[in-house]
Amino acid sequence: MNHKLQHRFIQTNGVQYFIKEAGNKKAPLVLFLHGFPDSWYSWRKQLKAMADAGYYAVAPDMLGYGETDAPEEISRYSQDYMAKDIVGLIEALGHEQAILVGHDLGASLSWQISLLYPKKVKAIIALSVPYGGRALVRPSDHMKKIFAGRLFYIDYFQKVGVAEKEFDADKRTFLLKFYAAYDAVGGIQHANNLAPEWTEDISGFLDTLEMPSALPKWLSEEDFNYYVSRYQKHGLRPPINWYRCLDEYWERTEHLAHQKVTQAAFFIAGKNDPVNVMNRKAMQRMPQFLEDFREMEMIEDCGHWIACEQGEVLNGVLSSFIEEVLDE
């Protein structure tokens, strides 16, 4: 069976989301949430595979991306507001709960949805970003302490107007450098230089990333052009705003400090993902904060872009885990 992807717009929590969907709308809902800097498009193979497996598969452009709305207020990108968006999306799709598959910031958001709205989440598959409990200190304070004198991208994103001006000036260069630096090939080198020292020859974040001689093997010219096109409407400021709300969300969620994720959970990461360096301790702590932690799988020959680099492997993991959870 070969399900065709359909698209439409859905209103939720005062904003309009663009979604791609496939499969029987009455079947169990598998909801895919992408991260930064990404698009629903990275899930295209998973949408078809899950629809073929008998599920209702949906992937939105997340808030501020693609054709989804991009509110001006920075605070609107806080995870508690976006969690409410996703809950509204689940209900608008005609379901009471969903199996969440999240990558990068989409994984971080999926963990928070599981904590804030436990009845809305049947199970969670998180890619690249583990859950190691609520941060003990304000995120910005932690970053300044750990990366003092260095250019760490999340810290660099905090000053409004700086990163987006740099990236929007040449979206193709930004995306190409970023995608290449975090895949299976570039990730090995980038892991050793995730936060380089500020020097006189570094004027911005892109100066710290090498320009690849060609597109990564997992990224065709057609696919790359599509990714670039998803940033023409809103630019990079809305996606970067996600990072600017980390402190605000942390301050509002002290009540989650000792709360555990109760749903069945599976964690997946690429072995060559440089993000693993900063997430190592969280991965070690993860079993303490998950009541039903099923497994952690590290995928060979894979960096950060799991769905694109090792899509068939990911589809196999998703099929096995979802079938196991729904059979219980």
Any idea which residues carry the catalytic annotation? 104, 304
Distances (CA, A) of 30 to 10, 49, 70, 213, 289: 17, 11, 24, 37, 23
Give the whole-angstrom CA distance, residue 182 versus residue 218: 12
Non-local CB neighbours of 187 within 8 Å, separated by 6+ positions: 181, 270, 272, 273, 274, 303, 304
Q: Which amino acid is at 165?
A: K
Question: Are residues 103 and 33 in contact, defined by beta-carbon separation less than 8 angstroms?
Answer: yes
Helix (H, G, I), strand (E, B) or coil at 328: coil
Helix (H, G, I), strand (E, B) or coil at 263: strand
What's the token pair of residue 7?
């698209």
What's the token pair of residue 231?
């940033």
Q: Which amino acid is at 322?
A: I
Alpha-carbon dihedral sign for residues 22, 44, 230, 158:
positive
Give the whole-angstrom CA distance, residue 108 versus residue 131: 7
Strands (E), 69-113: 98-103
Non-local CB neighbours of 306 within 8 Å, separated by 6+ positions: 103, 127, 128, 268, 269, 270, 299, 314
